[in-house]
Structure 1
């Protein structure tokens, strides 16, 4: 397998100006799960700006409708489907929405997932299962439902993973396990389905700006605010979306994003013991977030 593509600061500077997008995805139909807000919404918007028709998805009707109306008012071709994609029947409905509206599927981006912030010893089993289900079945079920149409179009599938899948992250056991599973899944499907021409890729997202109301689950499953992150180490949602579309255009197998992601990847590749020592040291400073 070729080495992962690493997107750094200099490459980010080379991103195309948002005022004059090229229509790379003209005529293409994309499903973006979890696109009512956050990175999913930014990705859906960028796909639309580059000519695609997009099926929006989410769990909250008010947010989903707000996004759909906003996109339609901007002149974009979109439809929406309220669906929990950890349920296969609802995933089938999401795919049916795309086929009924546009007659084809060219791109599937499995973005929807639940994150967490709790140490394993304190984590309720049902919370572990919920987080793992959202990250694994939330990718598997939409893909399974869309596979016949992606085979017809020799389309593209991108699993949204995380830099935490590369080496693990304290307080994120279920999340890290789910995101790591996606890389192995993509590799396996690339081998099994190589004759279909479908592109299977994984993008490892690093620290990214979040919506102000974004929440993660604590040990008991209650939503809590995310921990503070220094903006200097973050990519914007638009930068992530643009990098993601570049990953799809080039049909890359693996891409790592953000300066923090680059550092994470390099440290764990060449200095794994030092990387673990740094993580263990910083855990002391994270303790106040789990009281």
Structure 2
């Protein structure tokens, strides 16, 4: 996911110089399930996106990395290239449609096709709705909704050709809402419904549309979210025992893609939220309201 700190303007994409055939020769040896596949992972300069991209590379895919911070993105690209992975990179803000077109063009120019899209990039928040400036709410919502819609719209013709796979990264907080996360929860819930709609509209294309609702995950130390006024602040407290590692989450995302699943809910907590929200919604609300009063540091 993207860092919420101020970002430099978009610059031109940086693609691997090799043509499609030569690029595939860089794939690691073996018979991984993604050999011969080309993936774009948004927000992959760091965090879960980076580890998902790494896991795809390790299992044979060629991957286009994406982010908004050129230096961090380039370092990730260099690390992957040093490991022998077939990789290209593109600096792009995924809430800008023209930038998303360039992101997809990078994949086609470098590797000749596109088989997998993982829309991971987004901004989160740590602010109550009543305190939020309207423009901050919109920024968070745009990053989650248009940051999913625009890359997909640009990639759709190429994914149709390959009967490819699309995975939207959502959150367990979208399943039943979470205090201090109104815009984030709304955006993540929106992309889940978008995936369902697209499965119906585009069933004839053979494209896989799936959603992964991730739970609490270990974050990079510099990870920031937006305050009510739009300032970058540290993420709210999360008990370490509740957190999965980024590599664990990435492995589960790859399993979801490989099985072309419609929905994957990560963590015991996420599965419990689904159960309670479905069958005992009033109990679920009581639990959230109680923890809001007694564990304020969990939300603030």
TM-score of the two chains, using structure 2 as the length reference: 0.88
- Corresponding residue number in structure 2 for 1:47: 56
Distance change in 2, residues 1:227/1:290 (3 Å): closer
How is 1:241-256 mapped onto 2 (pairs within 5 angstroms)? 241-256=250-265
- Corresponding residue number in structure 2 for 1:61: 70
CA contact (8 A) 2:237 2:297 kept: no
Q: Distance in 2 between matches of 1:218 and 1:286?
A: 19
CA contact (8 A) 2:179 2:299 kept: no
264, 271, 279: which is aligned to 2:280? 271
- Corresponding residue number in structure 1 for 2:41: 32
Distance change in 2, residues 1:46/1:21 (3 Å): farther
Q: Deviations over 1:62-91 (max 9, x none)?
A: 110110000000000100000001000000
Deviation at 1:285, TM superposition (A): 3.4
Q: Distance in 2 between matches of 1:24 and 1:110?
A: 20
Deviation at 1:270, TM superposition (A): 2.1
Aligned to 1:55, the other structure's residue is in SS state strand
Give structure 2 stretches of 5+ with no counterpart.
Answer: 1-28
CA contact (8 A) 1:60 1:82 kept: yes
Match status 1:162 vs 2:175: no
How is 1:273-288 mapped onto 2 (pairs within 5 angstroms)? 273-287=282-296
Aligned to 1:63, the other structure's residue is in SS state helix
Q: Deviations over 1:91-132 (max 9, x none)?
A: 000000000001100000000000001110000000000000
Give structure 1 stretches of 5+ with no counterpart.
Answer: 1-19
- Corresponding residue number in structure 2 for 1:74: 83
Q: Distance in 1 between matches of 2:292 and 2:86?
A: 46
Distance change in 2, residues 1:24/1:290 (3 Å): closer
Q: Distance in 2 between matches of 1:285 and 1:220?
A: 25
Please give the root-mean-square deviation of Cα atoms over the aligned residues, in Å: 1.4
Q: Deviations over 1:32-88 (max 9, x none)?
A: 000000000000000000000000000111110110000000000100000001000
CA contact (8 A) 1:206 1:257 kept: yes
Match status 1:211 vs 2:220: yes
- Corresponding residue number in structure 1 for 2:116: 107
Match status 1:180 vs 2:189: yes
Match status 1:85 vs 2:94: yes
- Corresponding residue number in structure 1 for 2:104: 95
Deviation at 1:286, TM superposition (A): 4.5
Q: Distance in 1 between matches of 2:91 and 2:103?
A: 8
Q: Distance in 1 between matches of 2:299 and 2:281?
A: 26
How is 1:17-28 mapped onto 2 (pairs within 5 angstroms)? 23-28=32-37
**Structure 1: which 4+ aligned runs deviate by more than 6 Å?**
none
Paired residues in the alignment total: 272
CA contact (8 A) 1:21 1:49 kept: no
- Corresponding residue number in structure 1 for 2:18: none
Aligned to 1:186, the other structure's residue is in SS state helix
Q: Distance in 2 between matches of 1:25 and 1:217?
A: 36
Q: Distance in 1 between matches of 2:228 and 2:208?
A: 36
CA contact (8 A) 2:292 2:299 kept: no
Distance change in 2, residues 1:21/1:35 (3 Å): farther
